[in-house]
Amino acid sequence: MPEFFGKTADDRDVFKFTLRNEHLTSVEIINFGATVVSVKTPDKNGVFAEITLGFDNCAQWLNNIPYFGAVCGRYCNRINNAKFSLNDKEHLLSVNNGKNNLHGGVDNFSKRLWTVDDYDESFIELSIISPDGDQGFPGEVRLTVRYELTAANELVINYYANTDQLTVVGFTSHIYFNLRDGGMTSILDQELQISADYYVPVNADLIPYGQLKVVDRSPFDFRVAKKIGQDLQSYCEQLCQAGNGYDHCWVVRGEHQKLRYALTLSDRHSGRIMEVFTTEPGIQVYTGNFLNGTIGRNGKKYQNFGGVAIEAEPYPDSPNQPGFPSVQLLPDEKYRQTTIYRFSVNVNDKESKFGEN
């Protein structure tokens, strides 16, 4: 059953919904921002604990500047100079990140109350209608997001959308993970492996140059699992940007629009493992470079590198980059995206499903 969580600034009710499976894994979601506010899984000793960054109360979630757990849209990540053209018509967007548009603009989807269409203990469906001209984007867009927690310990996120005129769309879930302790310590010694031979280089404003670059012999090479912080010093010496951490999109191997393996995050201390699968062309990895003491759960200050956001999504600034996979949506098309976070645990150096020894 939904639990009353608080009130919006205009006095509307915010509710929390808890998904559970047979292994006692739990995922909590609120209808404000369609936001994942908690994920709890066991460690190698069977102790359940929080593995995401977040806040204590509704008021904090309403002012969710880091986008903890929220659905971002209409277009996730950045659009250069907050504008793009479709059919020779320029569209000027809401500016909320320097001179750029970030995650949809000032009043993006993470800041709105969503409609709950259906739910039970294993899934929830939420929807939102974005009118023509919303934050400068053309066309009315209807988006439904379905979260499902499966018996296989997978958090499956499906996105469905349509439009009444040509537009651009890009959606993602902005969950920050720290598999050891939910943000109490750094993620730099947690291990990351990314199924990517290329990444998207960006300038100091985190806007792509428009081409892809091979990861080989660079700090962006995660083809073999390594600690997130292993090559950060080398990265900073080479690039000196992005808050001295990663905030980049990797090009996931395989055909986009088909579900495929993208990434593994693991923590040897707790034994927790998370694999990510997606239909999206890219996976953005953001190492919490600008958390800067954000006050989170239990009054804890989240320091830089306190969590890593794993965002399956199109490449940044795709509406302005003709060489990138198209993000256009036509009125006769049905948009669909799937991203899966699969949780497991390594017990005595042997990977195990939850509930098994």
DSSP H or E stretch at residue 248: strand 247-252
Q: Provide the 10 A C-beta neighbour count for residue 154.
A: 18
Distances (CA, A) of 224 to 125, 191, 195, 196: 36, 10, 9, 10
174 is catalytic: yes
Map tokens 């190492």 to a residue. Answer: 287
What's the token pair of residue 339?
Answer: 């991203």
Cite the beta strand spans of 12-153 per DSSP E.
13-20, 26-30, 35-42, 48-50, 70-72, 78-79, 83-86, 89-92, 101-102, 115-119, 123-130, 141-149
Nearest alpha carbon to residue 27 among 153, 188, 198: 153
Nearest alpha carbon to residue 232 among 280, 188, 169: 188
Distances (CA, A) of 167 to 21, 75, 77, 192, 341: 38, 10, 16, 35, 29
Asked if residue 235 lies in contact with residue 219, where contact means CB atoms within 8 angstroms, the answer is yes
Phi first, then psi: what are they for 96, rounded to 5°?
A: -145, 15
Phi first, then psi: what are they for 304, rounded to 5°?
A: -55, 140
Q: How far apart are CA 59 and CA 75, in angstroms?
A: 25
Asked if residue 143 lies in contact with residue 160, where contact means CB atoms within 8 angstroms, the answer is yes
What's the token pair of residue 22?
Answer: 């047979």
Q: Residues 6 or more apart from 172 whose CB is under 8 A from it?
A: 71, 72, 76, 77, 280, 284, 311, 312, 313, 339
**Within 13 Å of residue 303, how many CA atoms lie on the same side as its CB?**
5
Catalytic residue among 174, 191, 248, 313: 174
Catalytic residue numbers read 174, 311
